[in-house]
Amino acid sequence: MNKFFKDSTGEFSLTRFWTFICYSTCTYIMIKNVDTLDWSMLMAYAGVVGASDLAKKWINKNATK
């Protein structure tokens, strides 16, 4: 579980902590309401998670240049 809250230097990352909490909460809500979900809600969730991951990788890539 420590890898979710620490950055590459081993220090505690508040950004990673809140990202993990947010994704966990959204995933819980999606699982809890699976019988009432429609495709647009599922696609919006997948888009947010995917776009966030791509943005994080892009930012990290450009920060190391």
**Bridge partners, 22 (sequence order):** none
Give 20-53 pLDDT, tens digit per residue: 887 888 888 888 887 887 778 778 877 887 788 7
**1: pLDDT confidence band, cut at 50, 70 and 90?**
low
- 17 Cβ contact list (under 8 Å, min separation 6): 4, 5
Q: What is the pLDDT of residue 38?
A: 77
- CA 57 – CA 19 distance, rounded (Å): 14
The verdict on pTM exceeding 0.75 is no
Q: What is the pLDDT of residue 64?
A: 64
Reply yes or no on whether the pLDDT at 2 is more than 80. Answer: no
Q: What is the pLDDT of residue 50?
A: 79
CA distances from 20 to 1, 15, 27 (A): 11, 9, 10
